[in-house]
Structure 1
Amino acid sequence: MIWLILGVLLWSGAHLFKRFAPDARAKLGEKGKGLIALILVGSIVLMVIGYRAMDFIPVYNPPYFLLHLNNLLMLFALYFTSPGPSKGALFYKMRHPMLTGFKIWAAAHLLVNGDLASLILFGGLLAWAVIEVITINKSEPDWQPNEKGSIAKDAMFFVASIVLLGVIGYIHGLIGPSPFPG
């Protein structure tokens, strides 16, 4: 459990470092980007090892039908993490589409995973994303939206999200539980 918690904390700390300690981050200069990237890769490794190593400790038993809701939410999570919202016409005024997609991803996984490891992983990452949005909004209050794009861009990235959902779902089924009911 300690590896999983440490991974989530490292992920959160590395992302929030520039907001909570801007002077310390600035002192690192360009080399700091590589260091932060290395810490992020390490945090992902720790999260994967920690998640896979934890015993299954049930906390709640999600109903089966939530699998369908999870898949729908994952489609939107993928779309929001794509360039679509900032280049399209539907969501161009959204300030944090990528973090919104990340929050949807984490929440969707909490709907279908009721074990302690999943609560630590997805709950911890969801908490980080919420804190990240609040912190960015406070540190950069004068944000302006992108210019409005086209519906064609929205459609293109949405179709790409559907294809990506299929690919990710297939790979997910190879290395873990299949997200598609069979």
Structure 2
Amino acid sequence: MAILVLGIIIFLGMHLVRVVAPGFRAGIIDSRGKGTWMGLYTIVSLVGLCLIIYGFSQARGETGMLYDPPTFLRHIALLLMLVAFIVLAAGFLPAGRIAVALKHPQVLSIKIWALAHLLANGETSSVLLFGSFLAWAVILRISLKRRERAGEKVLPVFKSARNDVLAVVIGLVAFVLFVWKLHELLIGVQPVVL
């Protein structure tokens, strides 16, 4: 489980640099350029992500259950994941009404994803992983609110309602693909057992 914890610290730590050490980030950008910062950010994040993937696969076989979720929570989690996919798609498209209403759809989709997985999985490793991501997303959302109050432009600006239709279609297609095959191929677990 140590590798999973290390991966979480590296990955989420890198994603919190702007929150906890904005001067460090700004200093690198000022002295070496934004490209250098983005390269460092990408490399460190990928190392953390690889450690999370490897560490989670190892920890799943080593850790016990903290709780055994009832079946109905798995159904709720599945429904939440459909919402998470649509919200995530809305965050990557030019802003429609969904993105404007939710303010930070990508962060919200991570919160929904983490919560859904906490509802459906009671293993120690799962609770650590998804609980960490949920905490990170809450911290990030608080930081974005502060930046917004300070006058920084962090909110999406409405472009077209067509993007809402696209977000729903893309989210539905991605959700179906994940439930049908991709989750099993990428994660090794079939989310719906028929």
Q: Shared fold (TM-score greater than 0.5)?
A: yes
Aligned to 1:74: 81
Contact 2:97–2:164 (CA under 8 A) maintained in structure 1: yes
Give runs of aligned pairs for residues 58-73 of structure 1, distance below 5 A: 58-73=65-80
Whole-Å separation in 2 of the counterparts to 1:139 and 1:145: 10
Aligned to 2:106: 98
For structure 2, the residue ranges without an aligned partner over 5 or more in a row are none
SS in 1 for 2:189: coil
Contact 1:107–1:122 (CA under 8 A) maintained in structure 2: yes
Alignment of 1:158 with 2:168, yes or no, is: yes
How large is the Cα RMSD of the aligned pairs?
1.9
Deviation of residue 10 (structure 1)?
1.3
Identify the structure with bigger relative contact order (alpha carbons < 8 Å, sequence gap 6+): 1
Contact 1:7–1:44 (CA under 8 A) maintained in structure 2: yes
Deviation of residue 56 (structure 1)?
3.5
**Which moved further from structure 2: 119-128 or 152-161?**
152-161
Question: What's the CA shift string for 1:69-93, capped at 9, x where partnerless?
Answer: 1111111111111236862224413
Aligned to 1:56: 63
The counterpart of 1:87, out of the listed 95, 99, 103, is 95
Alignment of 1:173 with 2:184, yes or no, is: yes
Count of matched residue pairs: 182
User: Structure 2 length as normaliser, TM-score?
Assistant: 0.85
Question: What's the CA shift string for 1:110-142, capped at 9, x where partnerless?
Answer: 111100000110001111111111122223313
Equivalent residue letter for 2:162? A
SS in 1 for 2:130: helix
SS in 1 for 2:190: coil
Equivalent residue letter for 2:183? H
Alignment of 1:3 with 2:3, yes or no, is: yes
The percent of aligned pairs where both chains have the same amino acid is: 34
Whole-Å separation in 1 of the counterparts to 2:147 and 2:161: 31
Deviation of residue 97 (structure 1)?
0.9
For structure 1, the residue ranges without an aligned partner over 5 or more in a row are none
